[in-house]
């Protein structure tokens, strides 16, 4: 934020004594900087991705432009909020809202990237054999939950909410649920390992020790 402010500080000084004009200059200046940065970023990424064989990085870099541009805009809007003649409490609330939206934007980005990566890995089982079309929904859901939990932790931190007690309670609850559903979890992990080792595939004729077959 300090670098952005240093770039547009001369323009801010031109409107000293007019906080609303200063805030408007900051917003417009930051928007121009963000768009310019996005344009340069696209050129740089295209030069890099043109040397790779996969199209995965092209898609990821294209998606990356939106959260990066929003992050720069968020810094500019936060600076503009500090220039407005509002109370420190209201300014803090507005800045927290902007930061929360920024976290949501990055969460959406990571969800899309993770979903794309797992889908590509499911099509190529040589790299990660345990990620297959059959296990793809499981890994997608786990990745989604982890991203959401991490994002919520950051959002709570932005609003000054201490998550220590919540995390301790969640840990105790997780242990209790783990003991209660240990057989279910054991079967779940066993199924994942079986799919990863691929001792058999769909269409094979299987005979169990109990005599069941099919």
The DSSP line for the chain is: -HHHHHHHHHHHHHTTT-HHHHHHHHHHHHHHHHHHHHHHHHHHHHHHHTT-S-SHHHHHHHHHHHHHHHHHHHHHHHHHHHHSS--HHHHHHHHHHHHHHHHHHHHHHHHHHHHHHHHHHHH-TTTSTT--TTTHHHHHHHHHHHHHHHHHHHHHHHTT---HHHHHHHHHHHHHHHHHTHHHHHHHHHHHHHHHH-SS-TT---B-TTS-B-
Where are the chain's structural domains? Answer: 2-162
Burial of 189 (0-12, 13-18, 19+ CB in 10 A): exposed
- Quote the CA–CA distance of 32 and 4 in Å, as a whole number: 11
Mean pLDDT within 22-42: 83
Give pLDDT tens digits for 5-18: 676 677 677 777 78
- CB 96 within 8 Å of CB 72: no
Q: Which residue has the higher pLDDT, 186 or 83?
A: 83
Give pLDDT tens digits for 139-174: 898 899 999 989 998 999 999 887 776 766 666 766
Among the residue ranges 67-71, 111-115, 186-190, the one predicted with the least confidence is: 186-190
Does the pLDDT value for residue 120 go beyond 70?
A: yes
Mean pLDDT within 47-64: 74
- CB 83 within 8 Å of CB 6: no
- pLDDT class of 105 with cuts at 50, 70, 90: very high
Q: Which residue has the higher pLDDT, 129 or 76?
A: 76
Q: What is the pTM of this model?
A: 0.75
pLDDT for the residue 33: 83
Mean pLDDT within 79-107: 91
Q: Token digits for 35?
A: 């768009």
pLDDT for the residue 143: 92
Mean pLDDT within 71-95: 88
Q: Which residue has the higher pLDDT, 108 or 43?
A: 108
In whole numbers, what is the pLDDT of the chain averaged over residues? 79
> Could you tell me which of 107, 87, 109, 115 has the C-alpha nearest to residue 148?
107
């Amino acid at each position: 934020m300090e670098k952005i402010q240093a770039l547009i500080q001369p323009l801010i000084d031109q409107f000293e004594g007019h906080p609303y004009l200063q805030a408007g200059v900051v917003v417009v200046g930051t928007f121009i900087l963000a768009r310019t940065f996005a344009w340069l970023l696209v050129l740089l990424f295209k030069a890099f991705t043109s040397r790779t064989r996969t199209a995965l990085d092209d898609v990821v870099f294209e998606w990356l432009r939106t959260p990066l541009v929003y992050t720069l805009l968020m810094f500019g809007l936060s600076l503009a909020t500090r220039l407005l003649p509002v109370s420190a409490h209201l300014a803090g609330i507005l800045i927290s809202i902007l930061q929360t939206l920024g976290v949501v934007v990055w969460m959406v980005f990571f969800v899309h990237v993770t979903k794309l990566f797992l889908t590509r890995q499911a099509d190529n089982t040589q790299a990660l054999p345990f990620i297959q079309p059959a296990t793809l929904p499981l890994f997608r859901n786990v990745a989604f939950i982890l991203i959401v939990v991490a994002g919520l932790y950051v959002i709570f931190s932005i609003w000054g909410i201490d998550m220590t007690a919540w995390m301790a309670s969640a840990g105790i609850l997780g242990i209790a649920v783990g003991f209660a559903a240990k057989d279910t979890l054991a079967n779940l992990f066993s199924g994942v390992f079986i799919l990863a080792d691929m001792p058999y595939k769909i269409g094979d004729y299987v005979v169990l020790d109990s005599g069941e077959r099919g």
